[in-house]
Chains A and B, each alone.
Chain A
Amino acid sequence: MPVGIVHRDAATAEFFDGTARGELLIRRCRACGAHSAPQARACPRCASPELSWTAAAGTGLVVSWSVVHVKGGPPFVVGIVELDEEPWVQAQIVEVAPEDVHGGMRVRVAFERPEGGEAVPVFHPAS
């Protein structure tokens, strides 16, 4: 299934500037250096609210996944991907048959650019 339309707001503007450039931005704590998910508002390790943006390498592994069945379309796969920097992101997993997805599968980020919306990260098997 193609990704849906999403528009930026104040909290997501920098993140979507990143996806437009082909970068998956995550947060990095200015106090302790720990990485956290893009939507984090405080560091999960030290609770500091002083977070900066940094580009993730874009590779990770599948922690969990679901094959979603909807009326009027083929099933598609969504998953939780653990980035190599440690944070989790939730995204579609594409270019792989649903039955071939497995836990621990290596994946790499790509970006889909639907007309009228922001670029959305998806993951495909890392070759």
Chain B
Amino acid sequence: MNRAPVIAGLGITEMGKVYGRTAPEFAAEAVRLAAADAGIELHEVDGLLTNTGITGDVGLGLQRDLGLRHLRLLSEVQAYGSSAGAMVQYAAMAVMSGMADIVACVFADAPLKDKSAGGGAAYAAAGRRPTGWQGLTAASGIYSANTMYALAARRHMQTYGTTSEQLGHIAVAQRAWAARNPLAQLREPITVEDHQSSRWIAEPFHLLDCCLVSNGGVAVLVTSADRAAGLAQPAVHIRGWGQAHPGYVMGRDSEFGLVSGAALSGPTALKMAGITIADIDVAELYDCYTYTALISLEDYGFCAKGEGGPFVAGGVLGPEGSLAVNTGGGQLSSYYMWGMTPLSEAVIQARGQGGERQAPRNDMVLVSGNGGLLDHHSTLILSPHAR
């Protein structure tokens, strides 16, 4: 009996400015799509893990929305952008232990409202509190993640000399990938000049440093290698995983902005997989901002700490580069489904189903999730090959 964990199904709903549907509706559809993709009946799902986004309304009720009546595992998972990777980890352990056989992991969100002032505004307003410490932060003018990540990025710039132009190379490279991705929301090529002339959001971030906001849902099915044999899709083996939660001290000598959780979750996952970072063929990195991708590249060891700026500006990224990073366009250009953005593209790449954007080698695919204000991190190592 081979209970080694694999991803056997992937469901991606219509994505982007899709109005008139709730997040629970997107979540249910994503799970149904994943079951159909795997070639199983929905009622065969015996584990369900959910992660809710900013609208906060995807949870345990999804069981009844799906008519699942024999679940052996059901829970909400919340570590923000690291949750997709975390759900897969918990699902893998449930499958390995025999607790469950087919675990659906799903994220959905619907923050965009028709004719609203814009997605960014919806995100900002949702987090606003007029009281207490959170209220003080907002009253001080810090009322969206944009500003906190801008403060992190500025610290990196101050310490290592990273520049806005260097960050621009990440946006440009990912848009070039997105141009080859039919699922991507933004496919028009851009230049570093376009990045530099896009409007300021929160300096040092221009508009083109910031992720999209999307309505939609994504689900994956985790099962055992044995159960996946003979299903509709090639199995994607989950070879290693890790998490990190740095718990930054907000005071002198803090590493906030300088070192992310990838520095710990990466080695944990690589060790479990029995490989090194040099073995990674494809990296799907959480990129809520260009800077997040940059610091992740450093902390995984694709380049030395502090050298991320020159590294990304040196032409390694993009379809013509030597390192396949965010091959679908990432959250900057394809769609923003928290950690499901890098995970979904990683599954596509590991299956070899990337079409025009398929990376030349896919033996080892790294998935990076990042949540909160760099507070939570998850890593997965996926492969088309069993150990």
Q: Does A pair with B?
A: yes
A66 near B250: Cβ-Cβ < 8 Å:
no
Please report the C-alpha to C-alpha distance between residue A11 and residue B129 in the assembled complex, in whole angstroms: 14
Q: Answer whether residue A33 sits at the interface, using C-beta atoms and an 8 A cutoff.
A: no
| Closest B residue to A45 using CB positions | B249
Stretch of B145-153, B310-318, B338-346, B358-366 with 4 or more beta carbons under 8 angstroms from chain A: B145-153
Q: A1-B141, A5-B130, A86-B251 are in contact. Are A66 and B202 (CB under 8 A)?
A: yes
Query: Which residues of chain A are near B197, meaning CB under 8 Å?
Result: none
Q: A69-B203, A75-B200 are in contact. Are A12 and B132 (CB under 8 A)?
A: yes
- Which residue in A35, A103, A120, A122 is a CB contact (below 8 Å) of B158? A103
Please report the C-alpha to C-alpha distance between residue A75 and residue B147 in the assembled complex, in whole angstroms: 12
A76 near B252: Cβ-Cβ < 8 Å:
no
B202 near A6: Cβ-Cβ < 8 Å:
no
Please report the C-alpha to C-alpha distance between residue A35 and residue B251 in the assembled complex, in whole angstroms: 9
Query: Which residues of chain B are near A44, meaning CB under 8 Å?
Result: 249, 251
Complex interface bits, B133-171 against A, C-beta within 8 A gives 1, otherwise 0: 101111111100001001110110010000000000000
Main secondary structure of the interface of B (DSSP, over half): mixed
A41 CB to closest chain B CB (Å) equals: 10
B154 near A9: Cβ-Cβ < 8 Å:
no
Query: Which residues of chain A are near B249, meaning CB under 8 Å?
Result: 36, 44
Name the residue in A4, A37, A64, A79 with the highest tally of chain B Cβ atoms < 10 Å from its Cβ.
A64
Query: Which residues of chain A are near B133, meaning CB under 8 Å?
Result: 11-12, 38-39
Instruction: Name A78-127 residues within 8 Å CB distance of B.
Output: 78-80, 82, 86-88, 90-92, 98, 103, 114, 117-118, 120-122
| Closest B residue to A121 using CB positions | B140
Q: Answer whether residue B199 sits at the interface, using C-beta atoms and an 8 A cutoff.
A: yes
B11 CB to closest chain A CB (Å) equals: 37
B151 near A117: Cβ-Cβ < 8 Å:
no
A66 near B150: Cβ-Cβ < 8 Å:
yes
Complex interface bits, B198-214 against A, C-beta within 8 A gives 1, otherwise 0: 01111111000000000
Q: Answer whether residue A7 sits at the interface, using C-beta atoms and an 8 A cutoff.
A: yes
A73 CB to closest chain B CB (Å) equals: 10
Q: Answer whether residue A68 sits at the interface, using C-beta atoms and an 8 A cutoff.
A: yes
Q: Answer whether residue B2 sits at the interface, using C-beta atoms and an 8 A cutoff.
A: no
A5 near B139: Cβ-Cβ < 8 Å:
yes
Query: Which residues of chain B are near A82, meaning CB under 8 Å?
Result: 251-252
Instruction: Name B73-98 residues within 8 Å CB distance of A.
Output: none
A6 near B136: Cβ-Cβ < 8 Å:
yes
B101 CB to closest chain A CB (Å) equals: 41
A64 near B251: Cβ-Cβ < 8 Å:
no
B138 near A4: Cβ-Cβ < 8 Å:
yes
The interface of chain B, by Cβ under 8 A from chain A, is 130-133, 135-142, 147, 150-152, 154-155, 158, 199-205, 249-252, 254, 257
Given contacts A6-B138, A82-B252, A86-B251, 20 further A-B contacts (CB under 8 A): A1-B141, A5-B139, A6-B131, A7-B130, A8-B132, A11-B133, A12-B132, A37-B251, A65-B154, A66-B203, A66-B204, A68-B150, A68-B202, A69-B202, A80-B151, A80-B250, A87-B250, A92-B141, A103-B158, A121-B140
The interface of chain A, by Cβ under 8 A from chain B, is 1, 3-9, 11-12, 35-39, 44, 63-69, 75-76, 78-80, 82, 86-88, 90-92, 98, 103, 114, 117-118, 120-122
29 contacts between A and B (CB under 8 A): A1-B141, A3-B140, A4-B140, A6-B139, A7-B131, A12-B131, A36-B249, A37-B251, A39-B133, A63-B155, A66-B203, A66-B204, A66-B205, A67-B200, A68-B147, A68-B150, A69-B200, A76-B141, A78-B151, A79-B151, A80-B151, A82-B251, A82-B252, A87-B252, A88-B250, A90-B151, A91-B140, A118-B136, A120-B136
